[in-house]
Amino acid sequence: MICSYDETLLYKAQTSMAHMFDMAVSSYGYDLSEFYDMFLDSPYSSRFERGESAVIAGMSGHELAYAVISEYVNEPIHDHGFSVDRSCEYWMGWSLSYYQWISSRSFKYINSIAPISDLYLMYPKYHEMDMSQFVDRINELSDERKRQTFKRLRKYAAYDVGDLLAPLFNHLYAPVPARRFAFPPRL
């Protein structure tokens, strides 16, 4: 699998995103969904996805949260300190960053599969599990979304499965016309 950027940056990326979410919610008082929408619409989202070291390794999570908020708020933001506790938001940032790295999908696409509110609901079950369990669950949601999209498109086009497969089966099971075989003459 091709990852978004080099694995040596992964730990720093996870830490930065985890601290960014935690700082935005606990220190700056933003609603997580509101802040995540700001992050998705900011240029920092795509820069993070590409693995730009200036964003991943060059900024702390606190600086990244401040930079994202500064894109939308013209007022100075007051620093409220740093928390060493590991909150739900911290886990979400850590996990989301890992999934983005391993899947090479954009944050916007991941958000369309599993909105941040759904990730929040996953915390009680998945925060103690291995990260591969989280990755598998998001991949399942992605596959489910693809199936639903195909089903919706098929319904919109007014086809059912039988209509789609009929040409295949008609060709395979078409009646074979009777042929008269002439046997070669005996010698």
User: Locate tokens 């900024």: which residue?
Assistant: 59
| pLDDT number for residue 96 | 92
Q: Which amino acid is at 149?
A: T
Compute the half-sphere exposure of residue 23: CA atoms within 13 Å on the CB side of its CA.
Answer: 22
- Burial (CB < 10 A; 0-12, 13-18, 19+), residue 45, is buried
d(CA 64, CA 39): 10
Dig out the tokens for 1 from the structure.
């699998």
Is this model's pTM higher than 0.85 or not?
no
| pLDDT number for residue 177 | 56
Alpha helices in 23-130 (DSSP H): 32-41, 43-50, 53-56, 61-70, 88-103, 107-113, 116-126
Residues across the chain: 187
| pLDDT number for residue 73 | 83
Query: Between 61-70 and 10-22, two packed helices, what is the crossing angle to 10 degrees?
Result: 60
pLDDT tens for the chain, residues 1 to 187: 677 778 888 899 999 999 999 988 988 889 999 999 999 999 999 999 988 889 988 998 888 998 999 888 876 666 656 555 678 899 899 999 999 999 989 999 999 999 999 988 888 888 888 888 888 999 998 888 877 776 666 666 666 666 666 666 665 555 555 555 555 666 6
| pLDDT number for residue 157 | 67
